[in-house]
Structure 1
Amino acid sequence: MKPEDQVKELAAEFKKATDKVNGLGTELTGRMEKGEKGINDLKDQVDEALTAMNEAKTRLDDMEQKQARRGNNEPDQQKSIGQQLFESDQFKSFVENPATGQRATLQVKASDITSATTAAAGSAGGLVTAQRQPGIIAPPNQILTIRDLLAPGTTDSNSIEYVRETGFTNNAAAQSAEGALKAQSDLQFDDETASVRTLAHFVKASRQILDDASQLESYIGQRLMYGLKLVEDRQLLNGDGLSGNLKGIIPQATAFADPATLANYTIMDQLRLAMLQAVLAEYPASGHVLNPIDWAKIELTKDNDGRYIIGQPQGTANPTLWGLPVVSTQAMGAGKFLTGAFNLGAQVFDRQLASVAVATQNEDDFVKNKVTILCEERLALAVYRPEAFITGTLLAKTTP
């Protein structure tokens, strides 16, 4: 089949899947509004239709990207981080006269800093090799990070203050008789503050490295930017809020407690129960965070006939479980998990976008032909609702 026909076929499949989701969603909404019971089967159909639609969209996007690469014989003109830095007026001025103490700085949008190996701005993946294979190897899917799950925000201050509801006693009831005393409920609130923190690191290098732009570019992309992304993941998850650390989500999250009190469940069932726990707190979950080891165990799970329960070895779809995206990161400890409403329960605020700067910091650096290459960002994390996040140990439950 011609590539053009494959695109048309995938587009038709995606439209069909979308129409099915819309139809089932309308039916489910109508039946829920009527208060009908016994609609679990319909909910399962909606979940299956959503999964099918997402997989069709992924395949369609991949095919369109391949077509775009085949139809473009010109090299990719997208400039990488280092190229943009070296071509900037600030950098040229710095190279001409480094003794003045000037700095050459490049601002990079935080959401664009990835571990992908493409040539897109913000990529922090593998180094570009001397030889390229012509357009038959598709680029890997972008690796999701904790930031990708959170609601984005910006701030011009050094802290974020907000009011959090900490208690609600609901005594609402029918009035016993005309003129009788009505029921009184109670609400409690606390003021919370999320401080802006600085994440940064730097390296010293000889000034001669400035003559080798590609080497400096690879150093920025492969080491400094990627290293900053790794520590950001760990801070957003596990930061203790002390000594300049962010106060992460896990230290504030709610412990897992099976709300359905099942006699037996697998670790995949456990993650579904964590979703239920979040829903019962009125915060539907939007993602899971797992250690790569645990995600590999889940993907390798087979039924009694040796068939994979989720996914296939040749599959290319982004990691999902129970219809939610999965972030697989070593920032999460092995055997642990975090499930929650990341889009509703927390928000990350950028005070200073991730930046790369090159400068001679002092006279001693200048006379020794040394430069400092600095990578840093300033951000704050506000966890609005701790009950929106469920954390615990991955452990199947079996009854003797």
Structure 2
Amino acid sequence: MSETKTIHERLEEARVKGAAELEAVERGEGDVTKLKAISEEVTELEATIKAADEARAMFKSMGTARESVKAAEVETPAPAGSLGEQVAAAFVKSGTLSALGAQVQHTRGEFYSSKAPGDPTTTANAVTGNGLTVALTDVDKNVVKPYMLPFSISSWLSSGTLSGNSLTYFVANEWTSSSGRPGVVGENGKKPGATAPAFETKTLPLRKIAGWVAQSDEMAEDAGFLSSLINEQLLDELKKAEEEQIVSGTGTGNDLTGILSTPGIFSEAVATAAAKDVLESMYKVKTKIEAASGMSVDAVIVNPEDIAGIRLATDSNGQYLFGGPAYAPYGNGPFVADLNAFGVPIYVSKAVPPKTVLVGSSKGATVYRKGGVRVEISNNVNDDFLYNRFRVLAEERLLLAVKQPKAFGKLTLK
């Protein structure tokens, strides 16, 4: 039978494992979930030892035989800091961020904790007696986040990087008969001259999208799983703001010039709210785009409020055009979850305003980024240091170049 380890030996072993796992996480090889579990184990062991110390002091004051208990079993050397404190110190020192998801191309700062000042906090129910406090409240750490992006418009479009702070690009105009075009030439006939249409030169500056949240050190130490969730949601909100700018940025002030605000895109108003008219208008705009730009339309993007009218469209026999609740139209095959109209996928995104449909080719525009998403942490703002709080800032610099406006179209619904 193996020798039973003392609680102090278990604590020391957990600290060693935690330090090793922390180093692995900083190298991008460790498991953050495992690290958090070790941190919780260290916290529990430290609490147990503290309770034993209090009990020993109580028995000693009563003059009982408990005074003979070995010091090695009840006394704890002053720790260099809990694992949570070690992790917090490590992320401030390291300035590195690991595994924040596919949408983040570049990162700085380690997400470990987050809580905005003013957010409500609660204390666990507990039973207190004889100097000991026993918590009775269980904690469910699985938090369901609100709306996420089902479709990424920035990922749909072409992507690029740049090293400067602005970009100059050229928009090719359509050749017309008035400028001359190649044609048929007879024997001894003069060959026609052709003049290439002038290119439209555009220069756009980088724009910055940013946001921050303030957190307390206590939240970082006591509820790390909530802290991580808040940090993750900050990145989600940054992504949503980016998508909205790419689609609908006005081009004024610090806004990007979004696709819907770009001069030269096709625009059509749908005559009625009937799904048949909406679908036919989609096809008409698709035809115009492909005829003018030579690019294949590869997406139709609709606001969630408007997708139901399309999905539930029926023919004169009452059959759903996109299939019923369980089967394809007229029972020809199984249920199809992904919508497709005239060979073009239909996606849903809140970035597209209600009563608006965006039709286009992903090759017609490029999202340029400089450095990707930056994440920074600081307690050097105002008097944050005095209040034991810090701030997490997420920001990115990007611009949208719509290199071929005729690759996109806008439908306005009734």
- TM bucket normalised to smaller: 0.5 to 0.7
Q: Per-residue deviation at 1:231? A: 0.8
- Which of 211, 225, 238 aligns to 1:214? It is 225
RMSD of aligned residue pairs (Cα, Å): 3.5
Shift of the 110–152 alpha-carbon distance from structure 1 to 2, 3 Å rule, reads: farther
- Counterpart position of 1:332: 352
Q: Distance in 2 between matches of 1:358 and 1:156?
A: 24
Which of residues 154, 169, 173 in structure 1 aligns to 2:176? 169
Against the structure 1 CA distance between its residues 308 and 265, is the aligned structure 2 distance closer, same or farther, given a 3 Å change threshold? closer
Q: What is the rounded CA distance, in whole Å, between the counterparts of 1:240 and 1:328 in structure 2?
A: 22
Q: CA deviation at 1:382?
A: 1.0
User: In 2 relative to 1, CA 285–111 (structure 1 residues): closer, same or farther, beyond 3 Å?
Assistant: farther
Compute the displacement of 1:327 (Å).
Answer: 2.7
* Identity within the alignment, %: 23
Classify 1:192/1:380 alpha carbon distance in 2 versus 1 (closer, same or farther; 3 Å): same
Correspondence for 2:235: 225
The structural deviation recorded for 1:148 is 2.6
**Structure 1 residues 166, 304: closer, same or farther in 2, change over 3 A?**
closer
- Aligned with 1:199 (options 209, 232, 235): 209
Corresponding residue to 1:273 among 284, 302, 327: 284
- CA deviations on 1:310-343 (whole Å, 9 max, x unpaired) are 144354633433332323122222221110112x
TM-score, length of structure 1 as denominator length: 0.61
Equivalent residues of 2:250, 2:261 under 8 A apart? yes
**How far, CA to CA, are the matches of 2:176 and 2:400 in structure 1?**
28
* Structure 2 residue 197 is the aligned partner of structure 1 residue 187: yes
Amino acid paired to 2:265: T
Q: Is the counterpart of residue 313 in structure 1 residue 325 in structure 2? A: yes
- CA-to-partner distance for each residue in 1:43-69, whole Å, 9 max, x for gaps? xxxxxxxxxxxxxxxxxxxxxxxxxxx
Q: Is the 8 A contact 1:164 1:189 kept in 2?
A: yes
Q: Decide whether aligned partners of structure 1 residues 285 and 175 sit closer, same or farther in structure 2, where only a CA change above 3 A counts.
A: same
Q: Is the 8 A contact 1:202 1:373 kept in 2?
A: yes
Q: Which residue of 2 aligns with 1:95?
A: 88
State the shift of 1:92 in Å.
7.6
The counterpart of 1:290, out of the listed 287, 302, 305, is 302
In the other structure, the counterpart of 2:408 is: 389
Instruction: Please state whether the residue corresponding to 1:367 is helix, strand or coil.
Output: helix
Specify which of 97, 109, 114 is matched with residue 106 of structure 1.
Answer: 97
Letter in 1 for 2:249: G
Q: Deviations over 1:242-293 (max 9, x none)?
A: 22221111111523359xxxxx962111111111111111121110111112
Deviations 1:92-124 (A, max 9, x none): 8883399xx8684526677436xxxxxxxxxxx
Structure 1 SS opposite 2:97 = strand
CA radius of gyration, larger in: 2
In the aligned structure 2, how far is the partner of 1:196 from the partner of 1:93? 39
Unaligned runs of 5+ in 2: 1-29, 40-83, 105-138, 270-274, 327-334
Q: SS of 1:106's equivalent?
A: coil
Matching residue within 356, 368, 373 for 2:375: 356
Q: Deviations over 1:142-178 (max 9, x none)?
A: 8112113101222222222212223533422234662
Aligned residues of 2:311 and 2:339 also touching (Cα < 8 A) = no
Number of equivalent positions: 281
Q: In 2, are the aligned partners of 1:108 and 1:354 still within 8 Å (CA)?
A: no
The answer as to 2:154 corresponding to 1:154 is: no
Query: Cα 1:207–1:141, aligned 2, differ >3 Å: closer, same or farther?
Result: closer
Does the 8 A contact of 1:94 with 1:103 survive in 2?
Answer: no
2:371 and 2:277 map into 1 onto residues whose CA distance is 43
Q: Matches of 1:233 and 1:183 in 2, distance apart?
A: 45
Match of 2:394?
375
Measured after TM superposition, the shift of residue 309 of structure 1 is 1.1
Normalised to the residue count of structure 2, the TM-score between the two structures is 0.59
Q: In the aligned structure 1, how far is the partner of 2:320 from the partner of 2:276?
A: 18
What residue identity is the alignment partner of 1:271?
M
Question: Following the alignment from structure 2 to structure 1, what is the Cα–Cα distance between the partners of residues 342 and 148?
Answer: 20
Structure 2 vs 1, CA of residues 220 and 255 (structure 1 numbering), >3 Å: closer, same or farther? same
Q: Distance in 1 between matches of 2:315 and 2:342?
A: 17
SS at match of 1:266: helix
Corresponding residue of 1:303: 315
The answer (yes or no) to whether the contact 2:169–2:201 under 8 Å persists in 1 is yes
Cα deviation for residue 375 of structure 1 reads 1.6
Unaligned runs of 5+ in 1: 1-76, 114-128, 133-139, 259-263, 396-400
Which residue type is aligned with residue 340 of structure 2? Answer: T
Q: Taking structure 1 as reference, are residues 93 and 345 closer, same or farther at Cα in structure 2, changes over 3 Å only? A: farther
Runs of 4+ displaced beyond 4 Å: 77-80, 91-94, 107-111
